[in-house]
Amino acid sequence: MGILLTIFTSALTTLLVGRMYLNFQYHKSNAGYRQAKIIEATKVITAALAHDDTSLLILRRTYKQALAPVIERLARTFGTQQLPRQTGMLPFFQEKEEADGWQFYTTYLHPVMTDLNNNAFIGWLPFIPNVRRLTTLWEMCHQLENIITETERIQAWEKQMGQKGIFPKDTFDSCSIPPSTDPTLQTLISPLLAEYQRLETTWQQWLKLVAQA
């Protein structure tokens, strides 16, 4: 009995020390720094939107490398605890001056994903709060990449077929995607809408984790 207790105590101590060490290493890492900035950006941007704050332009520039344009679009369309969801509207990830969504990806998403990937090895400890935030953030970035991919696929098809575009030309913050009578186009739209549904779920999970941070 004494031997089993010693083994159990030793294993528990090793686990706790390992958890503390990983948390320490994570906070010092690029991923930890980037995650902290994105949490901070989520809090201040959603608060500014809820109070119709005039500081949004400053916040967009301050948190440019912390998913600021993504957070603002998600909050405006999918809503937050203070903001209602915009019925029928979806976030659109392309800037007015950009030729396509890949420039948006390169400017805002890719640097974040590169930093987060540096600490992917800690994903085997899902009970650590920082890891839950990391994996949720990583999942959200992948879903954003998938949405940009599907959007570009549709726009390429529209250009090839000479079809009228279903995405907005006057505003680039949000869009509405109604069902299409064209069976080929509807086949392209369906996976995009499925990704949007997954992204909305992940966004709500992220907001809950941010509230606990």
Query: In this structure, how many other beta carbons lie within 10 angstroms of the beta carbon of residue 152?
Result: 15
* Residues 70/64, Cβ–Cβ less than 8 Å: no
What pLDDT sits at residue 24?
47
φ and ψ at residue 182, rounded to 5 degrees: -80, 115
Q: What is the pLDDT of residues 164-196, one digit of tens each?
A: 888 876 666 888 998 899 999 999 999 999 999
Taking every pair of C-alpha atoms in the chain, what is the biggest distance, in angstroms?
78
> 141 versus 4: which is more confidently predicted?
141
Could you tell me the residue ranges of all domains in the chain?
A: 22-212
> Any residues with CB less than 8 A from the CB of 166 and at least 6 apart, and which?
154, 158, 175, 177, 178, 180, 185, 189
- What integer is the mean pLDDT of 50-62? 88
The pTM of the full predicted model, rounded to 2 decimals, is 0.83
Q: What is the pLDDT of residues 149-166, one digit of tens each?
A: 999 999 999 989 998 888
Alpha-carbon distance of 129 to 145, in angstroms, equals: 24
Three-state DSSP at 175 gives strand
> 10 versus 188: which is more confidently predicted?
188
What pLDDT sits at residue 193?
97
DSSP character for 177? -
- What integer is the mean pLDDT of 70-87? 95
Confidence band, pLDDT 50/70/90 cuts, at residue 96: confident
> Any residues with CB less than 8 A from the CB of 19 and at least 6 apart, and which?
125, 128
- Hey, what are 57's tokens? 């332009």
What pLDDT sits at residue 130?
76
> 91 versus 124: which is more confidently predicted?
91
